[in-house]
Structure formats: structure tokens, C-alpha cells
Amino acid sequence: MRRVVITGHGAINALGHNAAETRASMREGVCGIGDLEFQDVGRLSISIGGQIRNYRPEDHFGRQELTLYDKFTQFALLAAREAVAESGLVVDEALSERAGVVLGTAGGGLQTQDENYRSVYEEGKNRVHPFVVPRLMNNAAASHVSMTHNLQGPTYTVATACASSNHAMGQALNLIRAGQADVVLTGGSESMLCFGGIKAWEGLRVMSKDGCRPFCATRNGMVQGEGAAVFVFEERERAMARGAPILAEVAGFAMTSDAADIVMPSQIGAERAMRGALRDAGLAPEDVGYINAHGTGTTANDRTECAAVRQVFGAHADRLMISSTKSMHGHLIGGTGAVELIACLMALDEGVIAPTINWRERDPDCDLDVVPNEAREARMRAVMTNAFAFGGLNAVLVLTAPA
């Protein structure tokens, strides 16, 4: 079977404007969550989030480009630019048709929708900018990445709420394995930090007003973030032949559906996804040293996830480490799995395990080594990353250190 490796990565999120800054913040346990700043934030009961600071679109894009780029597209383009540069990929005519883009997002161009709904409903305007549709469509980010880098192969968007990025990266893996592409830019992007985006989430009563504390007995909900991460997935022989940097191998992937409840997670659905990913990677539970948890900081997710890990890993559950970096960058919804994959790369190539910050008090329902508050050094061969979405859709990836 064709094998797939990661040859480049890029990111922008509350922890940094690139992958190196993101890694540094994860190592140091930096909290990227703070007071939200946008129009009408005073009318929200939730006023914190992992917002990207000091971001000026005009530093990165021209005026004409910005008329077409919603923020979620801008983030994806910046992350892709960084990933492609690191990979040293040269897209010639032959590669162009063998290279594609698969990105996750849940809200797509939500900022564009929010601004224009405000304009027509609240301000009573009867005219909107002609590019509202090409800005807000969910595939805008994937299409612009494809256009910018001239990638003419399979290109599409995956929308499975909080699992979008993991599903997207699983699709990228399978496209290359199946021989439908040799290179796929993949990951995800989200920009939901606007009045309508947060107002909708308030309704569910699952958001914390004071912070994201996954696995902690005092946890009281999730906190949103924004940003993107993009990776270059590349067929292994091709990457080796051109001497590309190989950050990790994408060894396994599995996806399941709970087929049960639209919001409550199912332990069995999560277990099946984790077992499936191990099986696909040809690994035993004992091979995994670190799990990047879905770890949203809600009562239900963290308890269910820990119970599922115990079931899948048995006695080894007490030896592995599991952390939720959402405590630092917030929950990027459709982009979250992509940013979290950076913690997995860091575990494999630097031997540094990102912590779960804000942890104060042990919860007997989450009695695993959650790497509280401080990063830890450890060497390992394999890591796992979980995403369990609303809608009961689960997607789990396994990465291994390059052989």
C-alpha cells in the first residue's frame, strides 16, 4: 500500500501566527484565550475566546484579494503558504494534476454572512457586495488554496462540525493511498468569532464564561478559538526521492458514526474510531505514547472520552499521556483537529508533550495522565489525535515517527 508522510506544516491561531510560534506557545503552556473584541460583543453573555491578536489582513493580501477572502480563507491561505514553503514543493505541470486540497471547516465564511445579515436586517440596506456568495461558500478556502498553488487535482471541503479537519486529513490520506493524488494540502480553517457565531453557541449552554479547563473537576464548558493549520501530505516514495523534510508518517485513520444523538457523545462510537485507527496503522495500543484529546472541557465529552480511552487501551491507559491543547488555543470547531495535529508532530519530532493548562483539581471520571499545566519531555513512536463531533461523527488519526 502507498504510504503517506507529512512534509510541511503551517498554522495561524491564538497561540501564534505560524507553526513555530504555535509550537513555542504549546511548549510553554501559553493561554491564548482572552477577552473577545468585535462588534456587539457587549450583547453576548460569553465574552472570551481564542482570538488571533495583532492580525492585519492587509499585511498579507492585496486589496482585490481581500474583497474575495473571508477570514477563514485568509487563515487557510497563510497556513498553506507556510506549509508549502517548508515542504520545498515545486508544483510543475506534472505534479499540478496529481495534487489537490482537502480542507475542513464548519462555518465557512461565517464572518461574511454575519456582516451582510447585519447590513440587510439591522441596517436595512437593500444591496450587498457582489462577492458575498464566493466569500461565504464553504469551499472558498480550499478553492483559493488550489488557485494560489496551482493544484488541479481533487479539491473539496469537508464539513463535519468539530471533526471536519480530522475527516479532511483522513480523506487526504485515502486519496493518496488510493492513487488518486500524490500530494494533498490538508487541514482546516475556522473563523466563527463574530456576534452571530458566538450568539448561536450561547444558545446551547455549553460555553464557559471563565476559561477552558479540560479534564479538571472545575471545568464548565468549551471556549471557542479561530485560525487554521495546513499540512502537506505526500506519497512517501515521492517525498523521499526528492529529499523532502519528513515530519511524520500518517499511519492510520478511522471514522465512525454514533448513530445515536445529535449532541451527546457516545463512548462506543469513540472507542470504535480509536480502535479502527490503530488497526489501520497496524499498531497495538501499547505503541501509542500520547493522545491529543478532543478534550473540549465540557462535562460530557471529557468524561466519555476518558472512559473510551480506558476501554481501548486497557492497562496501558495509565502509562500513556493525554492532553487537550484546546485549553490554550480554544476550540477551533472545523479547524481544531488541524491545529491539534501540531501538538502531535511536536511530540514525535521534539519529544515534547503539550500540556492541558488551567488544570486545578482531579476529576475521578478523568483519572488519566492529562499532562497538567506543564509540558513534558518524552520520546515515543506513535501518537493519536481524536475528534468527536456534534452529530455523533468521530474521526481519529494515528501518526508515527518517520522510520
Partner 1 sequence: MAEGVQEKVIAILAEQAVLDPSEVSLDATLADLGIDSLGLVETVFAIEEAFDIQVPFNANEPSQSEFDISTVATMVRAVENLIAAQK
Which residues form the catalytic set? 162, 294, 331
Footprint of partner 1 on residues 30-69 (CB under 8 A)? 64, 67
Shortest Å, Cβ 217 to partner 1: 54
Binder among 127, 203, 241, 262 for partner 1 (CB under 8 A): 127
Shortest Å, Cβ 367 to partner 1: 57
**Continuous segment of H or E residues that includes residue 397:** strand 393-400
Binder among 38, 55, 131, 156 for partner 1 (CB under 8 A): 131
d(CA 219, CA 331): 14
Of the pair 61, 131, the CB lying nearest partner 1 is at 131
The one-letter code for the residue type at 268 is I
Helix 19-28 crosses helix 71-87 at what angle (to 10 degrees)?
Answer: 100
The one-letter code for the residue type at 247 is L
Residues in contact with partner 1, counted by CB under 8 A, come to a total of 6
Shortest Å, Cβ 134 to partner 1: 8
37: buried, middle or exposed (CB in 10 Å: 19+, 13-18, 0-12)? exposed
Binder among 2, 129, 209, 379 for partner 1 (CB under 8 A): 129
Beta bridge partners of 156: 102
Which residue is associated with the grid cell 505541470? 93
**Continuous segment of H or E residues that includes residue 71:** helix 71-87
Of the pair 137, 380, the CB lying nearest partner 1 is at 137
Shortest Å, Cβ 133 to partner 1: 11
Shortest Å, Cβ 173 to partner 1: 35
Stretches 127-135, 221-229, 288-296, 374-382: which one binds partner 1 (CB under 8 A)?
127-135
Shortest Å, Cβ 130 to partner 1: 4
Encoded one letter per residue, x for contact with partner 1 by CB under 8 A and - for no contact, window 186-205 reads --------------------
Binder among 42, 124, 130, 243 for partner 1 (CB under 8 A): 130
C-alpha 39 chain-centroid distance: 26
Q: Does 123 bind partner 1 (CB under 8 A)?
A: no
Stretches 113-121, 129-137, 299-307, 388-396: which one binds partner 1 (CB under 8 A)?
129-137
Torsional sign, CA 293, 295, 300, 303: positive
Of the pair 45, 67, the CB lying nearest partner 1 is at 67
Query: Beta-strand (E) ranges in 21-174?
Result: 34-35, 48-49, 99-104, 155-158
Question: Among 222, 250, 255, which Cα is nearest to 326's?
Answer: 222
Distances (CA, A) of 160 to 103, 118, 222, 330: 11, 26, 18, 18
Residues forming the site for partner 1 (CB under 8 A): 64, 67, 127, 129-131
